[in-house]
Amino acid sequence: MKEIKRWQSKANEPVMEENAQYHIRCKQGDIERYCLLPGDPDRVPLIAEDWDESHFVANYREHRTYSGTVGGVKISACSTGAGGGSLSSAVEELVRLGCDTMIRVGTCGAIQDEINCGDVIIHTGAVRHDGTSNLYVDPTYPAVADYMVTAALVQAAEELQIPYHVGISCSTGSWYCGQGRPGYNGYSQSFIDTIVDDMSKAGVKNFEMETSALFTIAGLYRFRAGSVCTAVANRKKDVFQYGGIERSIQIANRAVQIIAGWDEKLAAAGKKYWYPSL
């Protein structure tokens, strides 16, 4: 068996050699201020294909990281794995390395009739069923997107002429029972049987697993966050059609360029908050 390299650190905030972060294995200088967060590690190189240039930074467990430039803007991408717990580890460490703008890039299951598979959903907020955000703050604290990041995602979708919807997600801690699917051997309970209809009646657009944790932590730590997901299923129509993740990737990559341009205007004007006529 290959010998595992040993190291020692304080337990409250463990860091490795050269102060590399424990989960994402990145250190100061590796991460740019704008970072895209896919769940799947294999989507990181897919995201980087649209960049001007890219380089591999780290790969540990579910966290794969690249950095580079897109449209002349410095950018990073770090996969979070599935669910709020894994996402929170990555986000905690990305913030420590200077990232201040994060966009989740993923897939979801729509629960509104008008949303087709392949359409994109840009999230303004999320129902906190993720199981992680409650460990950070009172459950009544809202999970909301940064309005500037949301506006940039909408503008990007318009420029790229990609079909999109804007609204609220329900982020769950379970892909099966948490999203109204029966568990093993048909296991179910009454709330599992009704959650799709209940959330749909409330105007929720879709189910996924990470957005609410990202938005909650962003609000608490005062960084900017957005979320864009391609619908690969429509639960109301009972259709699953995987594909179209490139649409969310294109929108997110373009949105970063838009945000960077707005940030330059904010700095030049000496303003703290972006507004359309800036």
Catalytic residue among 63, 235, 247, 254: 235
Clarify whether 49 is annotated catalytic.
Answer: no
Catalytic residue among 61, 92, 181, 246: 181
- The answer to whether residues 241 and 232 touch, using CB atoms and an 8 Å cutoff, is yes
Catalytic residue among 93, 123, 129, 224: 93
Clarify whether 23 is annotated catalytic.
Answer: yes
Clarify whether 181 is annotated catalytic.
Answer: yes
Clarify whether 32 is annotated catalytic.
Answer: no
Catalytic residue among 23, 25, 104, 165: 23
Catalytic residues: 23, 93, 181, 235
